[in-house]
Amino acid sequence: MQTLPVNGADMAYLDVGRGPPLVCVHGSLCDFRIWHGVLGPLSNEHRVIAPSLRHFFPAQWDGQGDTYSIAQHVSDVIGFIGKLNIGPVDLMGHSRGGHVAFRVAQRRPDLLRRLVLAEPGGELDATLDPDFVPGPSPLAARIATAAGKITAGDVEGGLAFFIDAIEGPGAWARLPAAPAQALRDNAFTLIGQARDNRPPFSKADAEAIAMPTLFIGGARTRGTLPHVLRTLAAHVPNSKTAMIPNTTHPMFEQAPQKFCEIVLEFLGTP
Amino acid sequence: MQTLSVSGYDMAYLEIGQGRPLVCVHGTLGDFRTWSAVLGPLSKSHRVISVSLRRFFPEHWDGVGDDYLMVQHISDMIGFLEKLGDGPIDLMGHSRGGHIAFRVAQLRPDLLRRLVLAEPGGELDATLDPAASGPAPSERAARISASAEMAKAGDIEGALKLFFDTIDGEGAWGRLPAAPKQQLRDNVFTLIGQAGENRKPFSKAEAQSIETPTLFIGGADTKGSLPAVLRALSAEVPGAKTAIMPGCRHWMFEQAPLEFSAIVTAFLRN
């Protein structure tokens, strides 16, 4: 693959199409391939650049070391955009990748033109959620259990535990073989995820995002993600929100044409 | 993307992993993304090079032009392997890409080390199938023509449904998830090219002339003529091995990526 050297490691990326650059950041257990369903429509109007974050496939990581964290990945995306050397870019992130993109926008607004956050992952602190309880997220214990199984060599068991914890009992077994294999290719990142060290979003964080921002989600997503999305959207000053009917968290895989139509319209607005 | 200039056309390809090169050729309506589900397991022991043939995505082709031909794609693949210049390489093709790989092996055995044909597409002539209809177009060819007419007339969904259901059975297109559907849709205008691609049937003498060690691999539940073509060819290619994967159909490497990769890797290792 094409790579750029960033912070001492080679970041692999897929680069398709011509036009204003759009950098796409995948979420947990995914990699550059997660965008395959939207590459066609998006690359009709944009140069689509889909990196794999450090330690994700095509890397074959063993889970060792302390270079998997939100801070590392934010720093890597900042370095990556700088190395592209093409001026400000549009940045899109999904799930944990949305969290990374949000933090990039916070730290380096000069690098970005527009921001698309597809159900960004994260917690809300007390300034955004009166019920906030400091400490590790409720998911942390489950990630630690899954990571323990994977470290011990039980990759299937670790993935099954993690996916079932998020999507409900039997979800891993029901997953079609191709998407399951993509998760398996990234199983070792769950070991890093156990020490992701992700700080919660604050009201001041959200209010500081200056560039035009699109929040996009699935109308049928369950759990905390829709609440996080709506709360952030209420505080990011120059933001729009679009919820795609009949879709859940992987909304761009479930409705690629609708997703692209919304994103392209947002990015094309002068 | 990475590209190699072949006969005046920049052929895009994805390259992942280290080791002996394994070049993968997609079939009808596919592109370099076709092999996504097996990139992980195969790239553990191989440098996997997944090409997009002329006129397929990432090009956004409109179906106008006369260089979508079987002979052109065969010549392009030969040129690509020559440009790659890594000595004899392993070549794998799926469906129409299997037809191309077969023809490359026929024309230029010096370029190849091993050959993997995953349900190669094509017709059998009278030397392989006494019931062959002769020069009259097959039912499959007629369906391709009908699909091409629908695509030309702007009925994209109709064209895709007709083609896909022909290969994978009635109702298969309707059951396909949205993300893989979109990737086929990105290539819909290649159906227009394919209607005039001028593909020759396989003959017994051709199959008998393949010197490269060859693996035929297929799905036990594949519909239509593909299994008969596979069996007829594998019976005549000297020393060919055959593996039929239980519970799988034509896109067997998406349906059982680990099993597919294990079979292919074992064959390439010996």
What DSSP element (H or E) covers A60? none
CB–CB contact B14 A1 (8 Å): yes
Q: What is the bridge-based pairing of β-strands B89-94 and B112-118?
A: parallel
Residues of B with CB under 8 A from a CB of A: 1-2, 14-17, 33, 36-41, 43-44, 57-58, 60, 177-180, 182-183, 185-186, 254-258
Domain A2-132+198-268 in CATH: superfamily? Alpha/Beta hydrolase fold, catalytic domain (3.40.50.1820)
CB–CB contact B57 A39 (8 Å): yes
Residue B137 reports pLDDT greater than 70: no
Where does the pLDDT of residue A269 fall: very low under 50, low under 70, confident under 90, or very high at 90 and above?
A: low
In this complex, the residue of A33, A177, A253 whose CB is nearest that of residue B254 is A177
Residue A4 reports pLDDT greater than 70: yes
Out of A110-119, B29-38, B128-137, B210-219, least confident range:
B128-137
From A129's Cα to the closest Cα of chain B, the distance in A is: 35
- What global pTM score does this model have? 0.96
Where does the pLDDT of residue A168 fall: very low under 50, low under 70, confident under 90, or very high at 90 and above?
A: confident
- Quote the mean pLDDT of chain A: 95
Residues of B in contact with A16 (CB under 8 A): 1, 58
Question: Does any domain span residue B93?
Answer: yes
Domain ranges in chain A are 2-132+198-268, 138-196
Q: What is the mean pLDDT of residues B113-127?
A: 97
Q: What angle do CA A49, A52, A54 make, to 5 degrees?
A: 135
Look at residue B135 in the predicted model and tell me its pLDDT.
Answer: 61
DSSP character at residue B115: E
Residue B103 reports pLDDT greater than 90: yes
Question: Does any domain span residue B92?
Answer: yes
A100 in reach of chain B (CB within 8 A): no
In this complex, the residue of A2, A36, A58 whose CB is nearest that of residue B43 is A58
Q: What is the mean pLDDT of residues A9-29?
A: 97
Where does the pLDDT of residue B111 fall: very low under 50, low under 70, confident under 90, or very high at 90 and above?
A: very high
Give the separation between CA B122 and CA B232, rounded to whole angstroms.
11
Residues of A in contact with B256 (CB under 8 A): 177
The per-residue pLDDT for range B31-67, each reduced to its tens digit, is 999 999 999 999 999 999 999 999 999 999 999 999 9
Residues of B in contact with A38 (CB under 8 A): 182
What DSSP element (H or E) covers A250? none
The per-residue pLDDT for range B166-213, each reduced to its tens digit, is 999 999 999 999 999 999 999 999 999 999 999 999 999 999 999 999
Look at residue B35 in the predicted model and tell me its pLDDT.
Answer: 98
Where does the pLDDT of residue B138 fall: very low under 50, low under 70, confident under 90, or very high at 90 and above?
A: confident
Question: Does any domain span residue B193?
Answer: no
Chain B residue with the nearest C-alpha to that of A32: B36
Residue A260 vs residues A40, A124, A215: alpha-carbon distances, Å: 9, 28, 13
Q: What is the DSSP string of B189-237?
A: THHHHHTT--PPPB-HHHHHT--S-EEEEEETT--TTHHHHHHHHHHHS
Give the separation between CA B53 and CA B24, rounded to whole angstroms.
11
CB–CB contact B179 A44 (8 Å): no
Residue B85 vs residues A225, B100, B109, B133: alpha-carbon distances, Å: 50, 19, 14, 41
Percent of all residues in chain B with a pLDDT value above 90, rounded to a whole number: 91
Chain B residue with the nearest C-alpha to that of A14: B1
Question: How many domains is chain B built from?
Answer: 1
In sequence order, the 6+-apart residues with CB closer than 8 A to the CB of B4 are B10, B11, B13, B80, B83, B84
The enclosing domain of B116 has a CATH number of 3.40.50.1820
Q: What is the mean pLDDT of residues A235-239?
A: 98
CB–CB contact B2 A1 (8 Å): yes
Question: Does any domain span residue B184?
Answer: no
Q: What is the mean pLDDT of residues A173-183?
A: 95
In this complex, the residue of B33, B37, B179 whose CB is nearest that of residue A256 is B179
Question: Does any domain span residue B189?
Answer: no
CA A236 from centroid of its chain's CA atoms: 18
The per-residue pLDDT for range A182-221, each reduced to its tens digit, is 999 999 999 999 888 889 999 999 999 999 999 999 999 9
Look at residue A195 in the predicted model and tell me its pLDDT.
Answer: 87
Question: Does any domain span residue B171?
Answer: no
The per-residue pLDDT for range A36-86, each reduced to its tens digit, is 999 999 999 999 999 999 999 999 999 998 999 999 999 999 999 999 999
Where does the pLDDT of residue A135 fall: very low under 50, low under 70, confident under 90, or very high at 90 and above?
A: confident
Q: What is the bridge-based pairing of β-strands A47-51 and A9-16?
A: antiparallel
Question: What are the residues facing B6 on neighbouring strands?
Answer: B9
Q: What is the mean pLDDT of residues B102-125?
A: 97
Residues of A in contact with B40 (CB under 8 A): 57, 181-182, 184-185
Residue B107 reports pLDDT greater than 80: yes
Structure tokens at B131: 């019931």
Look at residue A24 in the predicted model and tell me its pLDDT.
Answer: 99
Structural contact between residues A236 and A213, judged by C-beta atoms closer than 8 angstroms: yes
Residues of B in contact with A94 (CB under 8 A): none
Residue A136 reports pLDDT greater than 80: no
Q: What is the mean pLDDT of residues A158-168?
A: 90
Tell me: cis bond preceding B180? Omega within 30 of 0 counts: no
Handedness of CA A90, A95, A100, A103 (dihedral sign): positive
Structural contact between residues B245 and B218, judged by C-beta atoms closer than 8 angstroms: yes
Give the separation between CA B108 and CA B85, rounded to whole angstroms.
14
Look at residue B133 in the predicted model and tell me its pLDDT.
Answer: 66
A40 in reach of chain B (CB within 8 A): yes
CB–CB contact A39 B177 (8 Å): no
Residues of B in contact with A1 (CB under 8 A): 2, 14-16
Residue A240 reports pLDDT greater than 70: yes
Q: What is this model's ipTM? A: 0.95
Structural contact between residues B267 and B239, judged by C-beta atoms closer than 8 angstroms: no
Domain membership of residue B54 as a residue range: 2-130+200-269
A64 in reach of chain B (CB within 8 A): no
Residues of A in contact with B255 (CB under 8 A): 177-178
